[in-house]
Amino acid sequence: MSAPWQVSREALPHASRLLIERAHEEMLAGNLDDRRLQEVRPLVRDSWERSWRGRVGPEGAPPLDLHTEELEDYRLAHPLASAMDMIRALLLPDTEEDSGVIIAVGDKAGRLLWIEGDRQLRSLTDDMGFVAGANWSEDAVGTSAPGTALALGQSVQIRGAEHYNRLVHPWSCTAAPVRDPETQRVLGVIDITGGPEVVSPQARLLVDATARAVESELMVTRLRERSEAPRQRPAPAKARPLKTARATLHVLGRDRARLETESEHDESMIELSARHAAILLMLAVHRQGLSAERLCELVYGPGVSPDTLRPEMVRLRKVLERTAPDLVPESRPYRLPVALETDAHDVLSLLDRGAHRVALTAYRGPVLPESTSPGVEEFRESVRGALREVMLSEASLDVLLAYAEIPEGQGDAEALRLALEMLPARSPKRAALVARIERLDRS
307-350 confidence digits (pLDDT tens): 999 999 999 999 988 888 888 999 889 999 888 889 999 889 88
Quick: pLDDT tens for 396-428: 888 899 899 999 999 999 999 999 999 998 888
At 96 the pLDDT is 56
Q: Does this model's pTM top 0.85? A: no
Nearest to 85 by CA among 179, 214, 206, 223: 214
* Lowest-confidence segment of 72-81, 236-245, 345-354 by average pLDDT: 236-245
Q: Does the pLDDT value for residue 355 go beyond 90?
A: no
pLDDT at 2 over 80: no
Helix-helix angle 84-91:201-228, to 10 degrees: 150
pLDDT, one tens digit per residue, over 136-174 is 999 999 999 999 999 999 999 999 999 999 999 999 999
Q: Mean pLDDT, the chain, as a whole number?
A: 86
Q: What is the pLDDT of residues 93-118, one digit of tens each?
A: 766 566 688 999 999 999 999 999 88
Cα angle 103-109-115, degrees, rounded to a multiple of 5? 20
pLDDT in tens, 7-64: 444 333 455 778 898 898 988 888 888 888 988 999 999 999 999 999 998 988 898 8
Which of 410, 373, 403 has its CA nearest to residue 387? Answer: 403
Of 132-136, 313-317, 358-362, the least confident: 358-362
Q: Cis before residue 333, ω within 30 degrees of 0?
A: yes
Domains, the chain, in order of start with CATH, read 57-224 (3.30.450.40), 246-342 (1.10.10.10), 396-443 (no CATH)
At 261, the pLDDT band (50, 70, 90 cuts) reads: confident
Query: Using alpha carbons only, what angle is made at residue 339 by residues 336 and 342, rounded to the nearest 5 degrees?
Result: 105
Q: Which residues contact 181 (CB under 8 A, 6 or more apart)?
A: 215, 216, 218, 219, 222
Percent of the chain with pLDDT over 90: 53
Q: Are 371 and 277 in contact (CB under 8 A)?
A: yes
Rounded CA gap, 301 and 45, in Å? 59
Give yes or no for residue 128 having a pLDDT over 50: yes
Q: Report which residue type is found at 379.
A: F
Give the pLDDT confidence score for residue 190 in this predicted structure: 97
Share of the chain above pLDDT 70, in %: 90
Give the length of the chain: 443
Q: Is the pLDDT of residue 294 over 90?
A: yes
Judge whether residue 216 has pLDDT over 70: yes
* The residue type at 279: I
Contact 188, 207 (CB under 8 A): no
Instruction: List pLDDT tens digits, range 169-188.
Output: 999 999 999 999 888 899 99
Q: What is the pLDDT of residue 332?
A: 85
Does residue 245 contact residue 324 with C-beta atoms inside 8 Å? yes
Residue partners of 412: CB distance under 8 A and separation at least 6: 388, 403, 404
Q: How many CA atoms lie within 13 A of 47 on its CB side?
A: 29
What pLDDT score was predicted for residue 242?
Answer: 41
> What is the Cα Rg of the chain in Å?
25
